[in-house]
């Protein structure tokens, strides 16, 4: 889209306001809005703002930044009553108008340019599998004298909302919800509306369905989408899911483990690299028909896997999902159609055009710009250094490792067990992220500081279950 077509869109839709979205280091969207009449000025000069007020961005002494909108991201926002056009921005230096080092979106743009500069590939496509829960209500609170939460789900007899008598008998218990059909899949039509909005936004959806969690766990999976645009698209999809849920009096969460002892929410990343129109991950006759470049790319991800977790699983709640027994990978290895593996090669993607693999460890509390860029750099490092996964006991293994003996399992590399361990792994192994000046030391240090502060905020407080265990000791 060019500026002429943008003005046409504004005129045809009687746009009154333009909403600029940008992503902070914490993975949240922030926004600022201005009258549509100011468009030309904003496109030329951007919008200045105080970066020191955004978590992890800058100190007060150097807080002046400017938001530069990307007109190719322009969309009519379907959720505002006042006709509003949305554009996604990069956070730029106020003087140079170049994306700053700590702007997550600029990190992804630099990762893409670095990939092309290596001559390994000229294009990359990804699929994010978004898992989330839809709850009827949620309440949570935490202060010096009280803490707790309450979740209600009309799909689960164990968590029915107040004044909900389940007179239709559709709510269930003690079963898995995977691919549950209507009427047990109560929110199918709402999920379909979410998908319709995604398709209208240019995001192609492969399918959607009820997931394993009985308390209304959902999944939406896209078709292969272009990197780095897929990072923008992931933010858009999360926004559509949240706001559609709210329109129907529901609440959506991407928390990896919102319900104890139930299935958790991951975000698996499928990925492919292309060069001159061909998928470089395919080679007939190799293991799972993977090329040597694909094996090295996998080797890079697994070799740097412990450090990657600092970006792909950056919340304290992430590690409550990463437990054996819930199809959540806790060991760094790869295998064909192996759901206990950190990297799974799907059997169904077996043509030259489809051959790919998925990194299954991540979850949607990640910042998509940082997580996907980090995965990309790890894989490219694997190709550059020809990292053979077999050399480090990363597989391939095609059997269920959870059924192995404890002695055999001990020979596999484990992902970090918590935030401090993940951040320590990142401190010790981040040189690969500095390639092409994609990440820098300041961003990595800020990320570590932000996440350790979150960990401390959680661990310093008494836990409700601790009262159950220890109050009367």
Q: Catalytic residue positions? A: 50, 129, 131, 211, 219, 268, 339, 358, 360
Q: At what angle do helices 229-247 and 188-200 cross, to 10 degrees?
A: 140
Q: Which residues contact 220 (CB under 8 A, 6 or more apart)?
A: 129, 130, 191, 194, 195, 198, 205, 208, 237, 241
Is 215:175 a contact under the CB 8 Å cutoff? no
Query: N- to C-terminal Cα distance for the chain?
Result: 67
Residue 94, classed as helix, strand or coil, is coil
Is 71:2 a contact under the CB 8 Å cutoff? yes
CA distance 223 to 207: 8
Considering just the CA atoms, what is the radius of gyration of the chain in Å?
23
What is the DSSP-derived secondary structure letter of residue 336?
E
CA distance 57 to 107: 13
With residues binned 3-state (H G I as helix, E B as strand, rest as coil), the percentages for the chain, rounded to 5, are 35, 25, 40
Distance of CA 48 to the CA centre of its chain: 28
Distance of CA 203 to the CA centre of its chain: 15
Query: What are the angstrom distances between the C-alpha of 50 and each of 29, 44, 86, 88?
Result: 15, 19, 21, 18
């Amino acid at each position: 889209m060019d500026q002429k077509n943008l003005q046409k869109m504004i005129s045809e839709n009687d746009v009154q306001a333009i909403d600029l979205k940008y992503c902070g280091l914490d993975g949240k969207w922030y926004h600022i809005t201005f009258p549509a009449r100011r468009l030309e000025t904003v496109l030329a000069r951007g919008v200045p703002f105080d970066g020191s007020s955004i978590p992890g961005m800058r100190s007060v002494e150097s807080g002046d930044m400017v938001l530069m909108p990307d007109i190719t991201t322009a969309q009519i926002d379907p959720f505002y009553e006042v006709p509003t056009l949305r554009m996604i921005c990069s956070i730029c230096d106020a003087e140079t108008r170049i994306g700053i080092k700590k702007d997550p979106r600029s990190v992804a743009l630099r990762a893409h340019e670095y990939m092309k500069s290596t001559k390994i590939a000229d294009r990359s496509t990804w699929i994010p599998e978004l898992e989330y829960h839809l709850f009827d209500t949620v309440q949570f609170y935490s202060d010096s004298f009280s803490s707790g939460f309450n979740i209600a789900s009309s799909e689960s007899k164990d968590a029915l909302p107040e004044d909900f008598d389940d007179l239709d008998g559709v709510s269930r218990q003690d079963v898995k919800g995977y691919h549950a059909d209507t009427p047990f899949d109560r929110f199918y039509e709402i999920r379909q509306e979410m998908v319709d909005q995604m398709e209208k936004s240019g995001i192609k959806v492969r399918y959607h369905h009820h997931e394993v969690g009985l308390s209304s766990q959902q999944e939406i999976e896209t078709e292969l989408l272009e990197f780095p645009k897929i990072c923008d698209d992931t933010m858009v999809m999360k926004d559509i899911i949240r706001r559609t849920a709210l329109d129907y009096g529901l609440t959506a969460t991407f928390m990896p483990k919102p319900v104890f002892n139930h299935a958790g929410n991951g975000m698996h990343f499928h990925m492919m690299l292309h060069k001159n129109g061909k998928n470089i991950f395919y080679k007939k006759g190799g293991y799972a028909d993977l090329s040597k470049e694909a094996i090295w790319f996998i080797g890079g991800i697994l070799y740097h896997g412990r450090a990657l977790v600092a970006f792909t699983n950056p919340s304290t709640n992430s590690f409550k999902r990463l437990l054996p027994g819930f199809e959540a990978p806790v060991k760094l290895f790869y295998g064909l159609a192996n759901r206990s593996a950190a990297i799974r090669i799907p059997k169904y993607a077996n043509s030259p055009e489809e051959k790919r693999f998925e990194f299954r460890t991540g979850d949607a509390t990640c910042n998509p710009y940082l997580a996907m860029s980090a995965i990309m750099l790890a894989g490219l490092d694997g190709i550059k250094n020809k990292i053979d996964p077999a050399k480090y006991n990363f597989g391939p293994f095609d059997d269920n490792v959870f059924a192995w003996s404890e002695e055999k399992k001990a020979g596999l590399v484990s992902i970090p067990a918590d935030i401090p361990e993940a951040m320590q792994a990142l401190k010790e192994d981040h040189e690969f992220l500095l390639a092409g000046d994609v990440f820098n030391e300041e961003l990595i240090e800020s990320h570590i500081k932000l996440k350790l502060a979150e960990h401390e905020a959680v661990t310093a407080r008494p836990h409700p279950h601790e009262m159950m265990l220890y109050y009367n000791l």
